[in-house]
Chains A and B, each alone.
Chain A
Amino acid sequence: SQTIHQWPATLVQPVGSPLSLECTVEGTSNPNLYWYRQAAGRGLQLLFYSVGIGQISSEVPQNLSASRPQDRQFILSSKKLLLSDSGFYLCAWSSSRALVEQFFGPGTRLTVL
């Protein structure tokens, strides 16, 4: 069965510090991968998605970037965090053969102070 991991689970960072969140998927190959942010208002905002190694699509301009160095690894980064980057970050995957339901990881709660 497929499993998706995210770490760290929680993170408190000062403004201006760098960020690296990692997501890995097990039990499937060539998945589509997604990064979402959920701010205090509960809505889910798609940040990035990837259909393959090195292929990243950005949904909104922001202070963040994403990379996919390996087939089942997806990384969310920032060089300098802003207060507005605080939120709950969720990674998700879906089958590349059928772009339907996405399965989500446990999330990372980021607080920027």
Chain B
Amino acid sequence: AQKVTQAQTEISVVEKEDVTLDCVYETRDTTYYLFWYKQPPSGELVFLIRRNSFDEQNEISGRYSWNFQKSTSSFNFTITASQVVDSAVYFCALSGTGANSKLTFGKGITLSVRP
């Protein structure tokens, strides 16, 4: 069975601070995908990134960066110089690579960025 744990439930930071959102996963699959989604107050889930299990290279996209470590089964997300618009719920998710694989979501982390 697959499981995604986001131990942090709520994080509050002041604008311009860096913040890291933790994600730990469990799977028996040898190949899998990891994802991060953002859910702003409007409710729609916005896809941020997909990472393949065979690619442990970290990724940076503007103020966003992701640290994938297979050895610790973690896929952490860092926002550098946070902004008020980053306030949202962030979900980490996991799926297998098979034909009928489904997304398993963590419970989400509510990030509040104060001006």
Contacts and interface: CB of A to CB of B under 8 A. Distances in A.
Nearest to B104: A46
Interface string A41-85: 111101001010000000100000000000000000000000000
Nearest to B43: A107
B33 A41 contact: no
A106 B43 contact: yes
A103 B47 contact: yes
Contacts of B95: 99-100
Contact of B108 (A42, A101, A103, A109): A42
* Interface residues on chain A, size class: 20 to 34
Contacts of B102: 46, 49, 59
Contacts of A99: 95, 97-101
Contacts of A90: 43-45
B44 A107 contact: yes
A41 B10 CA distance: 13
A104 B105 CA distance: 14
B71 interface: no
Contacts of B37: 104
A33 to B, nearest CB: 12
Contacts of A42: 89, 107-108, 110
B107 A43 contact: yes
14 contacts: A42-B107, A42-B108, A44-B45, A46-B103, A92-B45, A99-B97, A99-B100, A101-B33, A102-B103, A104-B45, A104-B46, A107-B43, A107-B44, A109-B43
Given A43-B107, A100-B95, A105-B44, 15 more contacts: A42-B107, A43-B105, A44-B105, A51-B100, A90-B45, A99-B95, A99-B98, A99-B101, A100-B50, A101-B47, A103-B47, A104-B37, A104-B47, A106-B43, A106-B44
